[in-house]
Amino acid sequence: MTVGEKIAIIRYQRGISLVELSKITGLPLGLLSNVESGYIEPSDEIVKMVCQGLDYGANDLMQNEMMLAKPGATQIPIYTDMEDLILPPSVVKPKGSVYISNMLLEKGEHFIVKVSDSAMDAMRIQEEDYILVKRQPFIRDHEVAVVQVGEKRPIIRSVVERENETVLFAKNFAGTYPPIMVTFTDYFRIIGKVVRVIANLRQYNTCMKLMQSDGIVMTEDMLETYGIYKPISVSDFKFEK
């Protein structure tokens, strides 16, 4: 990995655009762009000025071997209908898959599913977004989970355990989804915990492929920078078979 690529990673992590970095350092925008692209090998003075602008040690930039390692990624199945989650994963065939950076995954099995309503839009989980879910049968109070009540299709709710019941809360701006009270006599199961929203899967997948080929680590700051959290329609996304 070149010095320019390392600078690009740190800049993305800091959430600073090239234009902003040019203003901070006083260096020409074209020069900075060529450095990051690898067309120009920067002098020690330029590296020092850039690192000062990014609030990052120049020595750390040159010696940080951790940034040279290619990031690991795991192939995660995608489901486009919440009803697909009712049956065991060994029975239901996913509609496709996408590679997710291991930095964004917790330990355990994960899947991605399309959101079917706006019950959690106050938590940036919009209808037709895609969410990354870790399969697990338990959850802490107020965490968000994919749950099933009775024979109904699974839903996404914030889960709170009380003495004799479990309460499922929606986080909806319009307030159109009342709490659901679940008692010990009701069929209820937690399918998994919502880890994060990765709405723009098509763009995420493109970024992952490009960054892995260059050995660049995907971070959450980069996800924001690349607009990964912007929702897209299903017709805009081509699933990997």
CATH 1.10.260.40 spans which residues of the chain? 3-68
**pTM (predicted TM-score):** 0.60
Cα angle 118, 121, 125 (rounded to 5 degrees) comes to 95
Q: What is the pLDDT tens value at each position of the chain, 241 positions in all?
A: 578 877 877 777 677 888 889 999 999 988 888 887 777 888 889 988 998 888 888 777 766 543 433 346 788 899 989 999 998 888 888 888 877 777 667 788 999 999 989 999 888 788 888 888 999 998 888 889 999 999 889 999 999 998 888 999 998 888 899 999 998 889 999 999 998 887 666 566 666 665 555 555 555 555 555 445 433 333 333 334 3
CATH 2.10.109.10 spans which residues of the chain? 73-197
Query: What is the domain class of 3-68 according to CATH?
Result: mainly alpha
User: Among all chains, which residue has been given the structure tokens 């993305």?
Assistant: 12
The amino acid present at 214, given as its one-letter code, is D
Per-residue CA distances from 108 to 37, 76, 211 (Å): 37, 12, 24
Would you say domain 73-197 falls under CATH 2.10.109.10? yes
